[in-house]
Amino acid sequence: MSSINNIEIERKFLVKDDSYKSLATDHVLIRQGYLSLNPNCNVRIRRWGNQAFLTIKSKAQANGFSRYEFEKEISLQEVDELFRLALPGTVEKTRWLVPLPEGLTCEVDEFAGDNGGLVMAEVELPSEDTIFEHPAFLGEEVTYDPRYYNSYLSQHPYRTW
């Protein structure tokens, strides 16, 4: 998480082609679920390769791309136990890490399961006014469209749109 005072600032884009794979320096399998989808904040559990995290995220601020985020690493045993309490609707994806010239990272998520066919990229920024070079594989910006939040996808899978 890139944050200042636990504020996550990110922009989201659809992906036009798979050229990101040749630019990626790494990729990891991610499985995540939600313990709460309160309109003001959600509580997420995530298994990221051989790591696990508990994350609390607020709703987006007025600008649409900044929000409070608290994240704590937990054990694999704890995340497996918490998955038994999770709401129906797990999100599974492969995340590809693509370095950008500005020292930023573009995280490209290739969704699986009920969200298969969706490929989306996120760029976490150090400030709201950060400008970055958009790689050619980035398509339409969907930062302001809540359908592309993972919490929404967990309850309204992409294949049902």
Could you give the residue numbers annotated as active site? 34
In this structure, which amino acid lies at residue 118?
L
Beta bridge partners of residue 43, listed in sequence order: 36, 56
Which positions ≥6 away from 150 have C-beta within 8 Å? Answer: 32, 44, 91
Alpha carbon distance 157, 90 (integer Å): 10
Cα separation values, 149 from 44, 45, 89, 160, Å? 12, 15, 13, 15
Using an 8 Å Cβ cutoff, are 18 and 130 in contact?
A: no
Token duo for residue 39 = 């309109």
Q: Are strands 91-99 and 105-111 parallel, antiparallel or unpaired?
A: antiparallel
